[in-house]
Amino acid sequence: MEVLSCGYPYPLLYLILKQGNIHLEKDNSVFLTPYLDLSELDETKTEADCAGLCANEVLSILQTDTKRKLKSFELIRKKNCKKYI
């Protein structure tokens, strides 16, 4: 949620997320690096697009190698649209 409320315009935030410029600190804070390839900027991206990419990041963190999947993982996986994968 902290990422979506950072104040960047959604097309720019989408690009930051897509290019892997989001970083989680040990204290659970989030920072974004603004080094971007602007040739990939799509001005039609919305909050929903950014939320989908954020959900994928959460999924990658929650994903485990165990056979028992976390309920939160399954809920996010089912809720998130496959177009963001």
Q: What is the amino acid identity at position 83?
A: K
Distance, CA of 48 to CA of 53 (rounded, Å): 9
More confident residue, 53 or 2: 53
The reported pLDDT for the residue numbered 21 is 86
- CB contact at 8 A, 11 and 45: yes
Tens digit of each residue's pLDDT (9 = 90 or more) over 17-64 = 888 888 878 887 778 887 889 999 999 999 999 988 888 877 777 676
The reported pLDDT for the residue numbered 76 is 57
Q: 40: which 2 tokens?
A: 């990939």
Distance, CA of 81 to CA of 66 (rounded, Å): 24
- CB contact at 8 A, 53 and 39: no
Distance, CA of 76 to CA of 5 (rounded, Å): 20
The reported pLDDT for the residue numbered 69 is 58
More confident residue, 65 or 15: 15
More confident residue, 84 or 34: 34
The reported pLDDT for the residue numbered 70 is 58
